[in-house]
Amino acid sequence: MVIESKPRSWLTAKRLAAHGTTLAACLWLLYAWTLATPGLRDRNGNLKGTDFLHFYTLGALAIEHRGADLYDMNAQAALAAQRVPQAMGIRYLPLYPPHVSLLFAPLALFPYPAALALWWSYTALVYGICCYSVWLACLRLRKYGRLAAILAIALPAFFHLIAWGQTSALALACFTVMFFLLREQREFAAGLVLGCLIFKPQLGLAAAVIFVGIGAWRVVAGAALSAALQLSAGVVYYGVDPLRRWLELLRNAGAVMPLLEPKPYQTHCLRTFWSMLIPWPQLALLLYVLSAITVLGLTIACWRTSASAPLSLRYSVLLLATALVAPHLTVYDLVILAPAFLLLADWLLGRLSNSSTRWLGTVLYLIYALPLIGPFARWTHVQLSVIAMAAALYLILQMCRPAGSEISGRTETSAPRESAAPTPTRDG
């Protein structure tokens, strides 16, 4: 989400509100109609909640203390069909660490429909709190509260998060809390939160490399301690064998990737960008590694050489790098970019409109909207959202150095101490 301050810009608040309202109505009314069926199968024949069944089954395994079945697809499919008869024949590839099952044990105490309703409510609440907290930290966006709410509700990634019943709201919470801790220079605590991403390690990969690269050892130490404690919880509850099997699965993840990504056009990262575009797997993998190294190197350079640039810019770069570099990132995981939309919109509102800011505003709009047409990559073999994220990364990196020269050693543009920054004169 971004609002340009010049009358000539097409990204006016009024237009964005119209687009967001239309998109939200289309997405959520269509989804409500899809769900409006008797039983647990929707109009498309899919189980309501989709992936939540997997987490529900993991919770049931935790209740029954069946650590040996945490990575047994057949045993989980049988248990899922026993707990939810309409789930007969549905199988999931188990790749979550053992302790994740403990998080879902309380939900598994309820019948599936009630558990799903609770999970949807929890997901929406976490997402809303994260967006609201970041919006509050953005002084220039305060006058656009209604617009921010509309665009948050209409965010395609949030829609997919609910529709798939996935866990990415927890990752969003980690990145949101980490931002505020870094703003307060509580680096070890920020590391503890970063370590919580061990439940989706692909989303913590870029941040871990970046903080090692800039020598933020307190963050690294906190992350290592947090991850170790969480994995230890699984060992205490189940023993060491499930952890060993999980680590073995991670080492062989490449071999099971077709099972993990049956619809690669629903993924939005550099690895699948190249794998869809290049028909030769080894060359595609090489290009992914090279492009990921480039993104990480540029991000590390941004954090090292532009330390006086606003944290909002540097953290947005980190979030974009996280999405690009992750070896597996499905459309619902793009919800982690919600803070970047808000932070960058707030930063742009404090800058005079020029070609660079207009380009960044347009690219952010594309990142927001392009997941809607992701399925077209089945035929084009080009995931445009990845190109848009790479373009945004490049533009922000170009802006970091000039922005840093205008700001003192402080790191946050949205804090009260910078309230004198220029504000827009027209809201569209």
For residue range 156-213, list pLDDT tens digits in order. Answer: 999 999 999 999 999 999 999 999 999 999 999 999 999 999 999 999 999 999 999 9
- Phi then psi for residue 353, to 5 deg, are -70, 125
List, for residues 93-149, the tens digit of each pLDDT value.
999 999 999 999 999 999 999 999 999 999 999 999 999 999 999 999 999 999 999
What pLDDT does residue 305 have?
Answer: 84
Measured N-to-C along each axis, helices 384-405 and 270-277 cross at an angle, to the nearest 10 degrees, of: 140
Q: Is residue 70 part of a domain?
A: yes
Backbone angles phi, psi at 64, to 5 degrees: -90, 0
In a domain, residue 42? The reply is no
* Residue 37 forms part of a structural domain: no
| pLDDT of 420 higher than 70 | no
Structurally, the chain folds into a number of domains equal to 1
Q: Could you tell me if residue 52 is inside a domain? A: yes
Is the pLDDT reported for residue 226 higher than 70?
Answer: yes
pLDDT of residue 167: 96
Residue 55 lies in a domain: yes
DSSP secondary structure code for residue 424 in this structure: -
Closest CA relative to residue 334, chosen from 386, 287, 285, 298: 386
Using DSSP, how many helices (H) and how many strands (E) does the chain show? 20, 0
- Residues 319, 336 contacting (CB under 8 angstroms): yes
Report, as an integer, the average pLDDT of 406-419: 37
420 residue type, one letter: A
Q: Is residue 58 part of a domain?
A: yes
For 322-365, the pLDDT digits (tens) are: 999 999 999 999 999 999 999 999 999 887 666 667 789 999 99
Amino acid at 320: L
pLDDT at residue 6 tops 50:
no
CB-neighbour burial class of residue 176 (10 A; exposed 0-12, middle 13-18, buried 19+)? buried
Q: Which three-class secondary structure state does DSSP give residue 136?
A: helix
Question: For residue 211, what are the contacts with CB-CB under 8 A and spacing of at least 6?
Answer: 191, 194, 219, 220, 223
Q: What is residue 258's predicted lDDT score, i.e. its pLDDT?
A: 77
* Sign of CA pseudo-dihedral 270, 275, 278, 283: positive
The residues with which 267 forms a beta bridge, in sequence order, are 330
pLDDT of residue 64: 95
CA distances for 85 relative to 61, 91, 111, 155, angstroms: 17, 13, 12, 33
Phi and psi angles of residue 425, each rounded to the nearest 5 degrees, phi first: -100, -5
* Residue partners of 263: CB distance under 8 A and separation at least 6: none
252 vs 408, which has greater pLDDT? 252
CB 154 within 8 A of CB 21: yes
Range with the lowest mean pLDDT among 116-125, 227-236, 237-246, 352-361?
Answer: 352-361
d(CA 70, CA 98): 7
DSSP structure class, residue 331: G
**Structural domain contains residue 36:** no
| 105 vs 404: CA distance, rounded Å | 47
Could you read off the pLDDT of 352-361 as tens digits, one per residue?
A: 666 667 789 9
Radius of gyration of the chain (CA): 22
Q: What is the pTM of this model?
A: 0.90
Residue 355: the pLDDT is 63
Helices 281-305, 384-405: axis angle to 10 degrees equals 20
Residue from 184, 138, 133, 130 nearest 337 by CA:
130
Looking at residue 428, its pLDDT comes to: 37
pLDDT at position 407 over 80: no
- pLDDT tens digits, residue range 8-21? 567 888 999 999 99
Four-CA torsion 121, 122, 123, 126, nearest 10 degrees? 120
Structure token pair of residue 211: 């903080």
Euclidean distance between CA atoms 49 and 371, whole angstroms: 20
Domain extent for 248: 13-28+47-415
What are the residues whose beta carbons fall under 8 Å from the beta carbon of 104, sequence distance 6 or more? 55, 56, 58, 59, 62
* 421 inside domain: no
Mean pLDDT, the chain, as a whole number?
Answer: 90
Q: What is the tens place of the pLDDT at every residue in 40-83?
A: 999 999 999 999 999 999 999 999 999 999 999 999 999 999 99
Q: Which is higher by pLDDT, 264 or 416?
A: 264
Mapping DSSP to helix (H, G, I), strand (E, B) and coil, where does residue 268 land? Answer: coil
